[in-house]
Amino acid sequence: MLETIKQQIMKTQIISAIALITVLFVSSALASNELKKEQIQNLIESYQLQRTFNGSVLVAQQGEVIYSGGVGFANFEWKVKNSADTKFYLASITKTFTSVTVMKLIDQGKLSLDTKLADVLKWYRSDTGNKVTIRHLLNHTSGIPNYFVLRGKTVDDVMKEFGNGPIDKLAFAKKYCQGDLEFEPGTQWNYNNSAYFLLGLIIEQVSGNSFENAVFEFIFKPLGMNNSGDIQAHQYDVFPGMATGYMRNFTDFVHPTYWNMSTAYAQGSIYSNVYDLLKFDQALYDPNFLSNATYEAMFTPNLNNYGFGWEIKELPIGKDKSTKKIRTHEGFLFAWHTRFYQIPDDQYLIVILSNGGSAPMENICSGITDILYDRQSVLMKPLIANFVFDAFKNKNVKSALEQCQSYFLKEKDKWDFSEYELNHLGYYALLSDPDSSVSIFKFITDIYPQSWNAWDSYGEALAVVGKKTEAIQAYEKSVAINPENKAGLEMLKKLKN
């Protein structure tokens, strides 16, 4: 009897100890997540302070939200703030939804990865359509020319060509998506909006549904993504809670050049918010959402580390910089810059949605992963481009750039010398003060001498001010660094002739 009482006491003590450990563990985890939440908020606000990010962010693990929130404004004119509920145009993150919809049709046996383009779209030219397969379209190896490439045209030129009203998708595809192959399918990689436009038509042909309804039936409806939809057929509609798109011009956020959103279609027409994208994230771990074979095919990297609608990377971002597999996709179109970022090993999700033009996505993601893996995150430093812009306003660029040279040599760690931001400023100056623009671009080539883009921009500014010889030299340096700089090669030919 005494032994039994001792056993019961011991059992009670063990259970109490386990309960205490559990409580301490949960409390520690909650405290850790609260700290991470605060650190992420500080990080995001540091980018907002430099006016390089305006939008919403969500960070989660295994479906549990660590951080969600917005900074800046969904609408500047009406002072409507961004929040985690704000809807954003996703741009090319749409490709992940198009890919999943195609894979759903493959799971149903209605398509295969080796189905030929011309076997589904009977109108497509047979000489190329019998070479290109669904696989090639999904992983950007089709060789079909990309319809959204300016090729020396301005955005205004392209918009006049595309028109303002809703497009006839079939007529558009026949005109812009069946040019001569640039390479044999499967032999090279070239990011391709035409391929995903065609996948939208294939989805419609095979499913008997519009692209919008197919994505709704396969993804949005079963996942309860009630704040997501397709803009393509509704570009003039008003969506409650939808952010307005802006671009930064150093003094303000302004509306971008009009773009016919109906041309985006299956390569870039979906909108959503961070909470709906969390639902999508969780579905991609669910064995009942897609078959195992489909997941494996979709997330296997091909040329250029691209799967089917996904960039597949391995980066040293884990604890002690251990390598982690990343599944991600970026979207960008003028006012909209987006990133969907999964770390499958630990089921982390990072979603970053901007309605304020281009944002430093890689830096923000890197800062967030530093926080998640208990490293010291670096807040954004003051932008040197902002310092130069203030001097530009006061017509004092030359002395400011001399000061910047000194900062770069002696105080580089105190400033953010973002090449993109300086390049952005150079083009801003080119509109009203070409000589200052030349000085800014020259400074960029001084601190980034191996950047083909810096030399290309410098060459463009030199050509504008009539310095033909120097422009040719700049373009020659650009194409020497990057022989694939087709626009630079075209400008060289034009200047030399």
Q: pLDDT for 124-144, tens place per residue? A: 999 999 999 999 999 999 999
The Cα–Cα gap between 43 and 36 comes to 10
Say whether 335 sits in a helix, a strand or coil.
coil
Q: Which helix (H) or strand (E) is 313 found in, with range? A: strand 311-316
Q: What's the confidence (pLDDT) of residue 175? A: 94
Q: What is the pLDDT of residues 183-196, one digit of tens each?
A: 999 999 999 999 99
Number of structural domains found in the chain? 2
Select from 342, 372, 402 the last residue of a domain. 372
Select from 319, 338, 372 the last residue of a domain. 372
Q: Is the pLDDT of residue 449 over 60?
A: yes
Q: What's the confidence (pLDDT) of residue 27? A: 52
Residue 355 shares a structural domain with residue 428:
no
Does residue 71 lie within any of the structural domains? no
- pLDDT grade for 26, boundaries at 50, 70 and 90: very low
Residue 395 shares a structural domain with residue 361:
no
Q: What is the pLDDT of residues 196-229, one digit of tens each?
A: 999 999 999 999 999 999 999 999 999 999 999 9
Name the residue range of residue 167's domain.
Answer: 88-372
Q: What's the confidence (pLDDT) of residue 156? A: 74
Query: 147-152, long-range: CB within 8 Å, 24+ apart, which pairs?
Result: 147/176, 147/177, 147/193, 147/194, 147/197, 148/193, 148/194, 148/263, 148/267, 151/486, 151/487, 152/487, 152/490
Does residue 214 lie within any of the structural domains? yes
Tally Cβ neighbours within 10 Å of residue 199.
26
Does residue 257 lie within any of the structural domains? yes
Q: Is the pLDDT of residue 313 over 70?
A: yes
Average pLDDT on 227-246 reads 90
Select from 372, 396, 424 the last residue of a domain. 372
Q: Which neighbouring-strand residues pair with 71?
A: 55
Residue 410 shares a structural domain with residue 490:
yes
Say whether 71 sits in a helix, a strand or coil.
strand
Q: What's the confidence (pLDDT) of residue 320? A: 83
Query: For 310-335, b where at least 16 C-beta lie within 10 A, e where not — what string?
Result: bbbbeeebbeeeeebebbbbbbbbbb
* Class of residue 89 by CB neighbours under 10 A (exposed 0-12, middle 13-18, buried 19+): buried
The Cα–Cα gap between 192 and 306 comes to 12
Q: Which neighbouring-strand residues pair with 316?
A: 323
Q: What is the pLDDT of residues 72-129, one digit of tens each?
A: 999 999 999 999 999 999 999 999 999 999 999 999 999 999 999 999 999 999 999 9
Closest CA to 53 of 268, 277, 253, 242: 253
Q: Which neighbouring-strand residues pair with 61?
A: 64, 348
Say whether 453 sits in a helix, a strand or coil.
helix
The Cα–Cα gap between 278 and 280 comes to 5
Does residue 78 lie within any of the structural domains? no
The Cα–Cα gap between 245 and 249 comes to 13
Query: 26-32, long-range: CB within 8 Å, 24+ apart, which pairs?
Result: none
The single-letter code of the amino acid at 474 is: A
Average pLDDT on 347-368 reads 96
* Class of residue 469 by CB neighbours under 10 A (exposed 0-12, middle 13-18, buried 19+): exposed
Closest CA to 247 of 354, 390, 92: 354
- 474: domain CATH number is 1.25.40.10
Spell out the alpha helix ranges (H) of 312-416: 361-372, 384-393, 397-410
The Cα–Cα gap between 341 and 330 comes to 9
Residue 232 shares a structural domain with residue 263:
yes
Residue 285 shares a structural domain with residue 417:
no
Q: What's the confidence (pLDDT) of residue 30? A: 61
Does residue 228 lie within any of the structural domains? yes
Residue 93 shares a structural domain with residue 156:
yes
- Residue 254 — φ and ψ, nearest 5°? -125, 160
Residue 395 shares a structural domain with residue 449:
yes
Q: Is the pLDDT of residue 315 over 90?
A: yes
Does residue 310 lie within any of the structural domains? yes
CA dihedral 451, 455, 460, 462 (to 10 degrees): 150
Q: What's the confidence (pLDDT) of residue 157? A: 77
Residue 415 shares a structural domain with residue 352:
no
Q: What's the confidence (pLDDT) of residue 183? A: 97
Residue 356 shares a structural domain with residue 395:
no
- Residue 353 — φ and ψ, nearest 5°? -125, 120
Residue 259 shares a structural domain with residue 352:
yes
- 113: domain CATH number is 3.40.710.10
**pTM above the 0.75 mark?**
yes
Does residue 224 lie within any of the structural domains? yes
Q: What's the confidence (pLDDT) of residue 299? A: 98
Residue 258 shares a structural domain with residue 198:
yes
One DSSP character per residue, 134-154 reads: HHHHHTT-S-PPPSS--TT--
Spell out the residues 6+ positions from residue 470 whose beta carbon is closer than 8 angstroms to its own: 462
Does residue 19 lie within any of the structural domains? no
Residue 176 shares a structural domain with residue 118:
yes
Closest CA to 302 of 191, 180, 420: 191
The Cα–Cα gap between 392 and 215 comes to 48
